[in-house]
A and B are shown apart, each in its own frame.
Chain A
Amino acid sequence: MSDKVLIVDDEKDFLDLISERLKARDVDVSTATRGEDAVSLIDKESYDAVVLDLQMPGMDGLEALKRIKEKNPDVQVILLTGHATVEKGVEAMKLGAMDLIEKPADLPTIIDRIKRAKAEKIILVEKKSQERIQDILTRKAW
């Protein structure tokens, strides 16, 4: 099954190019140019990873990250930034981002992070399934 990714960036030219390149690599890509739209899409679809620009007009990347994690804590978010400082990295991780990549980023790096995000999501989903099974067994024990 192909990786399913949401890419969020207010730079439309960048979004169109990276989207086209990822689709050529069999990635199922959705896009949004605003943080608000990204948060709405999370309600409707399940993504293996969200690649999110940090600096956007209106709702910025950190605010969008917070709202996305509130809606779905299992979503793996990779932040894109023009300047990846240690402080930004720490703040992003505290808010639940999986990784922080500095622009301009090379595509192999982005794809590698998407694959890691998908693997992490699978682990979380399996863990939750195990917990549900355990809960059922515990409650139904006779």
Chain B
Amino acid sequence: MEHKPLPQDTGLAFYSKVSASISHELKNALAVINESAGFLEDVTLMVQKGIPLDPGRLSTLAGTVLKQVQRSNTIIKNMNRLAHSLDEKQAVVDIGSLLGLMLHVSERNAVSRGVKISGTFPESPVSITTNPFFLETLVWLLLELSMDACGDARAVNVAATGTGTGAGMTFSGLDALTGAGADAFLAGRSGPLLEALGGDLKILEEEGRLVLALPAAFSADF
């Protein structure tokens, strides 16, 4: 009998990839801050040799450092949110806010694959009670599938919405979506996650869309 990976194992794989990506991003921000500090040292030496200080250049440098501090702060805030999503097996989750978080953490991966991912968010908060970490893991997997299936347009849109019975997300722009690819996706890691969330995934191959539906409240025994 084919062994299906437990949601927890898939979650670990997701967490490990995102953590690696986060650490790379932070290293890049640190590299810029490091060069900025080195540049200030250079300027100090030049001033000591009698070369006049350029206040405009220093102001630009301060802006560069601030930009990297803000970037690092956002990265760490997202990392913190992800970490805290493991606090409870069941919690109230704002679907739009979760989508925003997942678009942020997937951004570098999308850029390196040459895919532009945009989000459409509900006008007012839409909340469901679910396992936050499993939902994040599922959305991450759906984003991976979408990037594989977006075809030559290299653009995916993800729309988070409220439904009559809970909430949903629609992944569109998937011109290269095939039934075989989607079936493999469902048979693999995403199947157990959908079960754990009480979710349903419709694969609309001809329309190039994936439609995820989630109940207003669900609790699985994990």
Which residues of chain A come closer than 8 Å to B35, judged between CB atoms? 14, 17-18, 21, 104, 107
A91 at the interface (CB under 8 A from B): no
Closest to B30 in A: A104
Chain A residues contacting B113 (CB-CB under 8 Å) are 57
Q: Which residue of chain B lies nearest to A54 when distances are taken between CB atoms in the complex?
A: B24
Partner of B23, one of A17, A57, A58, A83: A83
- Indicate if the CB atoms of B32 and A55 lie closer than 8 Å: no
Q: Residue B206 at the A interface, CB < 8 A?
A: no
Contact of B27 with A14 in the complex, beta carbons under 8 Å = no
Instruction: Give every chain A residue within 8 A of B111 (Cβ-Cβ).
Output: 57
Q: Render A54-74 as a binary contact track against B, CB cut-off 8 A, 1 for contact.
A: 011110100000000000000
Partner of B27, one of A24, A57, A103: A103
Interface flags for A84-119 (1: CB within 8 Å of B; 0: not) read 000000000000000000011111000000000000
Cβ of A11 and Cβ of B32 under 8 Å apart?
A: yes
The answer to the question of B42 belonging to the interface, with a C-beta cut-off of 8 Å to chain A, is yes
Contact B39 A17, beta carbon cutoff 8 Å: yes
Q: Does B118 contact A (CB under 8 A)?
A: no
Q: Knowing A17-B39, A20-B39, A21-B42 touch, does A58 contact B114 (C-beta < 8 A)?
A: yes
How far is A21 from B37 in the complex, measured between Cα atoms in Å? 11
**Interface size (B, Cβ < 8 Å)?**
21
Chain B residues within 8 Å of A, Cβ to Cβ: 23-24, 27-28, 30-36, 38-39, 42, 64, 67-68, 111-114
Cβ B39 vs Cβ A83 within 8 A: no
Tell me if B38 and A107 are in contact (CB < 8 A).
Answer: yes
What is the minimal beta-carbon distance from A27 to any residue of chain B, in angstroms? 13
Chain A residues near B64: list those with CB within 8 A.
13, 17
B38 in complex: contacting residue of A55, A58, A82, A106, CB < 8 Å: A106
Among candidates B24, B42, B68, B112, residue contacting A82 with C-beta atoms closer than 8 Å: B24
Name A83's contact: one of B27, B36, B67 (CB within 8 Å): B27
List chain B residues, Cβ under 8 A from A57.
Answer: 111-114
Residues of A within 8 A of B36 (CB): 17
A24 to B32, CA, bound (A): 18
Q: Is the CB of A14 within 8 A of B38?
A: no
**Residue from the set A11, A13, A60, A107 with the largest chain B CB neighbour count within 10 Å:** A13
Q: How distant is the Cα of A107 from the Cα of B190 in the complex, in angstroms?
A: 46
Q: Which residues on B sit within 8 Å (CB–CB) of A11?
A: 28, 31-32
Q: How far is the CB of A125 from chain B (nearest CB, A)?
A: 31
B114 x A105 contact (CB < 8 A): no
Q: Which 4 A-B pairs have the closest CB atoms?
A: A82-B27, A104-B34, A17-B35, A103-B31
What's the minimum C-beta distance from B132 to chain A, rounded to whole angstroms? 28
Q: Which of B32, B35, B38, B64 has the most CB of A within 10 A?
A: B35
Contacts of B114 in A (CB 8 A): 57-58
Within 8 A of B (CB), among A7-27: 11, 13-14, 17-18, 20-21, 24
Name the CB-closest residue of A to B36: A17
In the assembly, what is the distance between CA of A24 and CA of B42, in Å? 9
Instruction: State how many angstroms separate the Cβ of A124 from the closest Cβ of chain B.
Output: 30
In the complex, 19 of the A-B residue pairs with CB atoms within 8 angstroms, ordered by the A residue number, are A11-B28, A11-B31, A11-B32, A18-B35, A21-B35, A21-B39, A21-B42, A55-B24, A56-B112, A57-B112, A57-B114, A58-B112, A60-B112, A103-B28, A103-B31, A104-B30, A104-B34, A106-B34, A106-B38
